[in-house]
Structure 1
């Protein structure tokens, strides 16, 4: 089971919602865990809430899980029922990882020996990659940039057009 962390910023409206939904739809071909970081989001529009609802429904259909954290403003009870929100990133990740049965983080395969390091899949092209430490990485196959945290969660860097 793979896991992705999406860091969002600005107004979560139709534009961002549709792009995120398409990415999530692409990634839910197999069950996955999705963590949405709302700490830099200033507003979620009505259309944005509809896209979050579509994402939650898609995850339910495919056996995937999605949760968010860091929402800086009050929500209504209808909006709270769409997605599970947490105050802190650690709480959100812990909640999502509770759905994964195993000893290793969701996006990480167990290494055969300590010298080999840990393995992850590139979030863009799904190439199997080895890494030794957390931090910024560049896929040698597709040149996409991403960040890997200590637990093996992958966070992609979005390109601005």
Structure 2
């Protein structure tokens, strides 16, 4: 099971919602965990909430899990039913990892070794080894991404 962290910014409207939906639609072909960072989102429009509803439905249909954190606005009970919102990243990730029944990070595919850990490129799914957290570049597709201490992958892309 792989895990992805999406950092969102600006006004979450039809443009960002549709881009995010298309990206998640690709990623939900296999079971995944999705963490949405709303800490830099200034507003979610009504159309944005509709895209979040579509994303949640897609995740439920495919066995994926989704949660968000950092939203500074009011989360109504209707919005809370879409998916879980948490005050910070650590709680959100802990919640998502509770669905994974192993002690390894969600997207780590092999046990820890002295040579590093194995993850999948978030774009082309190539197996990659890494020794430490930080910025990485896939040699296959040239996608830039960040790996945190727990092995979570955050792809560098801008949703407009």
Q: TM-score, normalised by structure 1?
A: 0.95
**Aligned counterpart, 2:88:** 88
Give the alignment of 1:81-160 within 5 angstroms. Answer: 81-111=81-111, 113-114=113-114, 116-159=115-158
Q: Does 1:5 align with 2:2?
A: no
Q: Is the 8 A contact 2:100 2:106 kept in 1?
A: yes
Deviates more, 1:129-138 or 1:102-111: 102-111
Instruction: Tell me the number of residue pairs that the alignment of Structure 1 and Structure 2 aligns.
Output: 160
Q: Is the 8 A contact 1:69 1:89 kept in 2?
A: yes
Q: Is the 8 A contact 1:111 1:117 kept in 2?
A: no
**Aligned counterpart, 1:49:** 49
Equivalent residue of 1:73, what SS? coil
Using a 3 Å threshold, how does the CA distance of structure 1 residues 144 and 75 change in structure 2: closer, same or farther? Answer: same
Cα distance, 1:110 vs structure 2: 2.4
Using a 3 Å threshold, how does the CA distance of structure 1 residues 160 and 73 change in structure 2: closer, same or farther? Answer: closer
Q: Is the 8 A contact 1:107 1:120 kept in 2?
A: yes
